[in-house]
Amino acid sequence: MRVLGIETSCDETGIAIYDTEQGLLAHQLYSQVKLHADYGGVVPELASRDHVRKTLPLIQAALQQAKLTSADIDGIAYTAGPGLVGALLVGACVGRSLALGWQVPAVAVHHMEGHLLAPMLEEDAPQFPFVALLVSGGHTQLVQVDGIGQYTLLGESVDDAAGEAFDKTAKLMGLDYPGGPRLAAMAAEGRSGRYQFPRPMTDRPGLDFSFSGLKTFAANTIAAADSDPQTRADIACAFQDAVVDTLLIKCRRALKQTGLKRLVVAGGVSANQALRQQLQAFATQINGRVYFPRSEFCTDNGAMIAYAGAQRLLAGESVDERIKTYPRWPLEQLQALS
């Protein structure tokens, strides 16, 4: 089965074609970073308008890349949520309309399920069950995954997500949008130990996260410190160390609580090299395994949507002609696949 995947949940237009026998055949991605940079963050109306302009040309480019025509597509998967409602509607309308015109089934995909399954696109894919750390600009969650659609939420952020805290702290330091990767690059030049930041919610039981207080601590530290480049780098390093340590502590607890030794880390922040190094070292210590998607599939992309949609289409799942999106959509509401 060849599935066209459409991702338009926020500020990236991602299109991909996945073949259930041959694997990924095409992958096209357009980022709106330059569009939103002047505003310091995503402007929903501008994001939606840009998806309207880019989605169909990227679909044509993906078909050309795979040397296919619309007649070769067996199903369409589109992101239905969670995300920005206007942006979601663009992908849903295009996906459902093409499915109707091409007379193929369509399936609505959960954005976070796409991230969670992104490591399945790699040759060395994880086996079920495992614990997943979903860490991005909008979400920080720990999930026990027993199979596709078989998700148990173990913990989540009660306020800012980790990626959101990265971006907001970067903005406090005057870094351009998107701030998270720029802050991580600055942290690489910093000296660890000069500043000590708290590790929020690690001094109590549980697997929930909180990063808003860490952002406030960073704001106060920045306001009181000198503005020379080394000091700024040291603050960035201390902030990143705190986020990474917090995520590591919670992952350790989650694996101990579930008795599992396989950890999947996905979402935009999973590209952070400090986080990858720390989790790899931890997995080695416990004789476990940690799995990451390749860097290009850490951020939003069509490949993860095409893969997740293909699994659900193979199981007989599809949507009717009504177009529905779900700006808020708990993972636990998804149907489990046998």
Residue 171, phi then psi, degrees to nearest 5: -65, -40
Residue 200 has pLDDT above 80, yes or no: yes
- Name the binding residues for Fe cation: 111, 115, 300
Q: Which pLDDT tens digit goes with each residue over 249-291?
A: 999 999 999 999 999 999 999 999 999 999 999 999 999 999 9
- Per-residue confidence band for 140, with pLDDT thresholds at 50, 70 and 90: very high
Give pLDDT, residue 338. 75
Q: What is the DSSP letter of 201?
A: T
- Name the binding residues for substrate: 134-138, 167, 180, 272
Say how many C-beta atoms besides its own lie within 10 A of residue 283's C-beta: 18
- Per-residue confidence band for 177, with pLDDT thresholds at 50, 70 and 90: confident
Rounded to whole angstroms, the Cα distance separating 212 from 189 reads 24
Rounded to whole angstroms, the Cα distance separating 51 from 210 reads 32
Rounded to whole angstroms, the Cα distance separating 149 from 336 reads 4
Rounded to whole angstroms, the Cα distance separating 118 from 184 reads 23
Domain architecture of the chain: domains with CATH: 2-117+297-333 (3.30.420.40), 127-292 (3.30.420.40)
Residue 137 has pLDDT above 90, yes or no: no
Q: Which pLDDT tens digit goes with each residue over 207-253?
A: 999 999 999 999 999 999 998 999 999 999 999 999 999 999 999 99
- Name the binding residues: 111, 115, 134-138, 167, 180, 272, 300
Question: Could you tell me how far CA 87 lies from the centroid of its own chain?
Answer: 16
Rounded to whole angstroms, the Cα distance separating 216 from 213 reads 5
Question: Is omega for the bond preceding 205 within 30 degrees of 0, making it cis?
Answer: no
Q: Where are the beta strands (DSSP E) in the chain?
A: 2-7, 12-19, 23-31, 75-81, 106-110, 130-135, 140-147, 150-156, 262-266, 289-291
Rounded to whole angstroms, the Cα distance separating 279 from 62 reads 34
Max intra-chain CA distance, the chain: 63
- Per-residue confidence band for 319, with pLDDT thresholds at 50, 70 and 90: very high
Provide the token pair at 202. 């690690």
Residue 14 has pLDDT above 80, yes or no: yes
CA geometry: angle at 272 spanning 269 and 274, to 5°?
135
State mean pLDDT over 75-85. 97
